[in-house]
Amino acid sequence: ILNVEQSPQSLHVQEGDSTNFTCSFPSSNFYALHWYRWETAKSPEALFVMTLNGDEKKKGRISATLNTKEGYSYLYIKGSQPEDSATYLCAFKGSARQLTFGSGTQLTVLP
């Protein structure tokens, strides 16, 4: 079983703060790295799919970077809002057909 780790496990920030968290994954046999957002009582939704070393993706105030050589991805949220409160999941796609998910970072944005 592949090792995909996310840190921190949970995070509390004040509204307006910027924050970031990390996903670590195997640096060999890399195919893609996914980020999902999972809000309470909703379905997880895809944020980004990243495939190239050095990739940067952005959606509104959320952005992500990818380093496949060292096996990590950062997710950044600029000016956090209460509606950003969710669990953020990363998932690694290697040579296997399926994704391997990390355990998630639970973000709480306090008003």
Name the site residues for another protein (rule: CB under 8 A): 1, 4, 6, 9, 32, 34, 36, 41-46, 49, 89, 91, 93, 97-104
Q: How far is the CB of 36 from another protein (least distance, A)?
A: 7
Specify which residues 23 forms β-bridges with. Answer: 6, 73
Query: Residue 18 or 29: which CB sits closer to another protein?
Result: 29
Q: How far is the CB of 46 from another protein (least distance, A)?
A: 5
- How many whole angstroms from its chain centre is CA 77? 10
Q: How far is the CB of 17 from another protein (least distance, A)?
A: 25
Q: Which of 72, 62, 71 is nearest to 19 (CA)?
A: 62
- Quickly count: other Cβ atoms within 10 Å of residue 38's Cβ: 15
Query: Residue 84 or 92: which CB sits closer to another protein?
Result: 92
Q: How far is the CB of 14 from another protein (least distance, A)?
A: 25
